[in-house]
Chain A
Amino acid sequence: MVLFLLAIAVLAGLYMAWNIGANDVANAMATSVGSKALTLKQALIVAAIFEFAGAILAGSHVAETVRQGIVETDAFPNYHLLMLGMLGSLLAAGIWLHVCTLFGLPVSTTHSIVGAVVGFALVQLGASGLHWGKVATITVSWIISPILGALIAFITFWFILKVILDSRHPRLRVRVLAPFLIGLVAFILTLSMVFKGLKNLHLDLGLWQAILVALGVAAVCTLISAFGLGRIKIGVKNSHFGYVERNFRYLQIVTACYVAFAHGANDNANAVGPMASVISLWRTHEVMSKVPIPVWVLALGGVGIVIGLATLGYKVMATVGEKITELTPSRGFSAEFGAATTVLLASKMGLPISTTHTLVGAVIGVGLARGLGLLNLRILRDIVVSWFLTLPMAALISAGIYLLLRAVF
């Protein structure tokens, strides 16, 4: 019986991961495909490697939050009920996502799963069974993350505009600055992996050690890219900013990896969080909240995401990529940098946020700096509507499924 439930939970978790790989990753990677920084095939490879790496190397904090940060897991009378609840929340999130898609509402996978976890906990434990502080922090982070993404993207593009595009010698400026921008991304990525990273991979350095290691990696990356980018030929009869944009095309490959990594780190938790609960309950037969999630469970989610990418994700990626071909690499770089930095920051803080909504914020940030030809802001209204609907609706569905499961098993 328990084994049967475990199997369903793993399947539901894998389905969720598959869904993330098939749909959400497309949004994360589309900006690179749209600006032609990456071909579809390259985007697929980058996404597969870095989603997986992000899921394992930086994804544990968020997964822990979804598993036990929201619910007072100790308060559950027995492990069986918690298992049913987590299973139910996976199913509820899946159903809510399906319903919203039918109505064309841009709902977030992350928001759905958090709502669902809140739902079954309310039924079983009442209001006291929830860590309301954490729930409030998470909800606030949903509003702050797109704004922060917009702010970082705005500043990034403003910097590129003022220092490179608006200078008298854009080509010279980009040649000098591009390697440092790559170094900056390398620094943040390395820092996110080694600072308070995974204990069992010995990736949990203290702040100063971590900064030192990250600076070293950044320096190496800066040097390598200075040599690599130096090989780009300065065309004579190219469009005005041709050379600059060609440089940013390479920079955008780096931010594409960055986005995929950050996305894997944050969104893997949607599948792995509830699944990890069920697995650890099955292994220990008791409600233990302080055991870290084993790497292989994180990897299981990563595998699900990669399978989703390979089976359906590349098609969705191609569709989204085609719609945003007017994005040039300098704009794409700014948007991706803003979004990925925000998402990674949230991941390190254990906050499950919506990667897609953050990316939307970042794109609008570039638009606010006059970087984009045209944006349809009507989608913002739909996103805000989805914010207000998702938490109560996913909670309601999850509560219903939980009551059903409790009656049957």
Chain B
Amino acid sequence: MTVNVLGMLFGRSPFGPLQAHMAKVQECASHLRPFFENMIAGNQEAADAERKNILFLEHEADKVKNGIRDNLPRTVFLPVDRRDLLELLSIMDRIADSAEDAVIVASLKALPCPASICDPFLEFLDTVEKTVLAAGEVFESLDQLVEAAFSGPTARKVHETISEINRLEWESDKTQYRFGKLVLQHEEELGPVNTIMWMRLTQRVADLANASEKACDRLRLLLLV
């Protein structure tokens, strides 16, 4: 007969869905390599299929993101600051957005892929992927962080891992710089439009690493160490 007070007090924790969102983002980014490999090899159909996968997964990640936002009205009480959490979510989402932007730039027109550019590009993609994957691993320990109330040895361990990600992102920055210079060396061979497209693509791919690092830095703000 009386009102179910405890049931109304307890809400669904956003941290499980936050992990689910990161998993979607990771899945989305994991399709970049097959996309580019097929594009470089000239397998247009397979590349198109991968592009569609990426666009679909980006949309899926958006849905998870909106679900989390809808579940966080102003009256909720969280173990971390609500605004920090929403900001973190939006940066995580930027990883998937960047993957989407990259495949869109790469498929607006057929890009010429000379081996002298493509092999270094895949190496550059490697360093970016490493950063993205490392960020994904950090978010796998989010449930433990919640259990440890964002403090103690668990938090210190995450803190250390994030420092490692800062280093990985720095590596990817250096590779991006080298690759950009390489593209411009091929300016005449590629032509002005293709050069600009390759430069844009480079920036979009690099954005994945940047967003991954930023997401981890935001997470670091939530820790009590």
Q: Tell me the A residues contacting B by CB distance below 8 Å.
A: 19, 22-24, 26-27, 30-31, 34, 97-98, 100-101, 104-107, 109, 161, 165-168, 239-241, 316, 319-320, 323-324, 326-328, 356-357, 359-360, 363-364, 367, 369-379, 382-383
Contacts and interface: CB of A to CB of B under 8 A. Distances in A.
Interface stretch (B74-82, B168-176, B212-220): B74-82
Contacts, number: 145
Given A100-B3, A107-B3, A109-B2, A327 B77 contact: no
B149 interface: yes
A372 B79 contact: yes
Given A320-B4, A360-B5, A239 B10 contact: no
A398 B13 CA distance: 42
A75 B9 CA distance: 44
Interface stretch (B58-66, B151-159, B185-193): B151-159
B72 to A, nearest CB: 8
Contacts of A319: 4, 7
Given A100-B2, A323-B10, 16 more contacts: A24-B2, A98-B1, A100-B3, A101-B2, A105-B3, A161-B152, A320-B7, A326-B10, A356-B2, A356-B5, A363-B9, A364-B9, A374-B77, A376-B75, A377-B75, A379-B5
5 nearest A-B residue pairs (beta carbon)? A373-B13, A166-B152, A323-B7, A370-B79, A370-B149
Interface of B: 1-16, 71-73, 75-80, 143-144, 146-154, 224
A104 B2 CA distance: 8
A166 B151 contact: yes
Contacts of B12: 326, 373-374
B5 A104 contact: no
Contacts of A27: 4-6
A240 B147 contact: yes
For A104, A326, A369, A374, the residue with the greatest tally of chain B CB atoms inside 10 Å of its CB is A374
Nearest to A368: B77
B75 A378 contact: yes
A374 B78 contact: yes
A167 B156 CA distance: 12
B10 A375 contact: yes
A327 B10 contact: yes
A97 B1 contact: yes
Contacts of B149: 161, 165, 369-371
Contact of B5 (A22, A106, A165, A168): A106
A394 to B, nearest CB: 14
B76 A376 contact: yes
Most B Cβ at <10 Å: residue of A27, A34, A98, A241: A27
A166 B79 contact: no
A166 B225 CA distance: 11
B77 A383 contact: no
30 contacts: A24-B2, A27-B4, A27-B5, A30-B6, A30-B7, A31-B6, A97-B1, A161-B149, A161-B152, A165-B148, A241-B144, A316-B4, A320-B4, A323-B6, A326-B12, A326-B13, A356-B5, A360-B9, A363-B10, A369-B149, A370-B149, A370-B150, A370-B224, A373-B16, A373-B79, A374-B12, A374-B76, A375-B10, A376-B77, A377-B76
